[in-house]
Amino acid sequence: MLEPCPIRTKADYRAALNEIERLFDAELNTPEFDRLEVLITLVETYEQGHYPIEALDPIEAILYYLESRELFLDELEPIKQAMSC
């Protein structure tokens, strides 16, 4: 069992992820669930520092959403028309 401690290296990060996976189905209000919450917080902090995600431009986000679902911009026209009423 991994005791929660600061994540400083990739090895620490991988160990924390493995422990999170092991504890993923922990029941609420148990020591295991508390440990899971702490590990998730530590991993989130590590990821924010090492793998930051930049905010997307709203237009780029919409275009990405459409592309990832093989949709086209003109398919939004009915929504645009409905909103203009």
> What pLDDT does 2 receive?
58
d(CA 56, CA 69) in angstroms, rounded, equals 18
> What pLDDT does 79 receive?
74
**Could you give the C-alpha distances from 61 to 43, 47, 80, in angstroms and in order?**
26, 21, 17
Compute the residue count for the chain.
85
Confidence of residue 85 (pLDDT cuts 50, 70, 90): low
pLDDT, tens digit, for every residue of 68-78?
A: 999 888 877 77
pLDDT, tens digit, for every residue of 44-58?
A: 999 999 998 888 899
pTM: 0.62
Give how far the C-alpha of residue 14 lies from the chain's centroid of Cα atoms, to the nearest Å: 16
Question: Chain-wide mean pLDDT for the chain?
Answer: 89
d(CA 39, CA 34) in angstroms, rounded, equals 9
- Helix axis angle, 31-50 to 10-23, nearest 10°: 140
